[in-house]
């Protein structure tokens, strides 16, 4: 698929979202020796064409956070949130970054907002549990851990049901 997207870029170098899609494919390509670097290059090309793309800012933020580049991660997460306040993943990423920087008070603000926006986001609940724990708020941390466990259990049960259906000759549920 990467070849097809690159060909599309050759045909229309200013088309939006093509570099974003290439970046996502590069991240998923386990054969690549340095997928982060190549993906960031592609995401940066996307931002030249489409600087208002919140998802692209989020992806660069995620890669930077994983690579412990806090300043770059913070900049891109904040830009993603500014461009799309409903992008929960960017709030969770920023919250995780603040936790890694030992700033649970700042993390708390982002993570509470993320949970308000998407109460079914297990990762938001887990990170919020860590923020509460770091702030010494054990009861609230336990509540978030319980929410996280419940959501993860639902996900596991849904997956098990799907597998069982496929193994017994059933059809895959529509999504």
Each of the 175 residues of the chain gets a pLDDT tens digit; together they read 778 888 888 888 888 888 888 888 888 876 666 788 889 999 999 999 999 999 999 999 999 999 999 999 999 999 999 999 999 999 999 999 999 999 999 999 999 999 999 999 999 999 999 999 999 999 999 999 999 999 999 888 777 777 777 777 765 555 5
DSSP 8-state assignment for residue 85 = T
Task: Quote the tokens at residue 128.
Answer: 């919020």
pLDDT value, residue 13: 82
pLDDT value, residue 71: 97
Alpha-carbon gap, residue 120 to 5, rounded angstroms: 33
Residues with Cβ within 8 Å of 34's Cβ and at least 6 positions away in sequence, in order, are none
3-state SS class at 17: coil
Query: What is the model's pTM?
Result: 0.80
Alpha-carbon gap, residue 28 to 36, rounded angstroms: 10
DSSP 8-state assignment for residue 174 = P
pLDDT value, residue 17: 85
Alpha-carbon gap, residue 101 to 70, rounded angstroms: 8
pLDDT value, residue 91: 98
Alpha-carbon gap, residue 17 to 9, rounded angstroms: 10
């Amino acid at each position: 698929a990467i070849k097809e997207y690159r060909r599309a870029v050759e045909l229309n170098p200013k088309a939006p979202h093509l570099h974003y899609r290439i970046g996502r494919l590069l991240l998923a390509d386990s054969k690549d020796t340095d997928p982060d670097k190549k993906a960031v290059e592609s995401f940066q090309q996307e931002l030249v064409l489409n600087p208002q793309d919140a998802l692209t800012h989020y992806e660069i933020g995620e890669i930077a956070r994983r690579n412990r580049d806090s300043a770059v991660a913070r900049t891109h997460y904040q830009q993603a949130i500014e461009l799309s306040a409903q992008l929960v993943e960017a709030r969770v990423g920023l919250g995780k970054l603040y936790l890694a920087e030992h700033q649970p008070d700042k993390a708390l603000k982002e993570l509470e907002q993320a949970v308000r926006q998407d109460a079914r986001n297990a990762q938001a609940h887990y990170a919020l549990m860590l923020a509460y724990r770091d702030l010494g708020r054990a009861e609230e941390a336990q509540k978030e851990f319980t929410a996280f466990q419940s959501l993860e259990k639902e996900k596991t049960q849904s997956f098990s049901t799907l597998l069982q259906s496929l193994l017994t000759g059933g059809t895959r549920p529509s999504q």
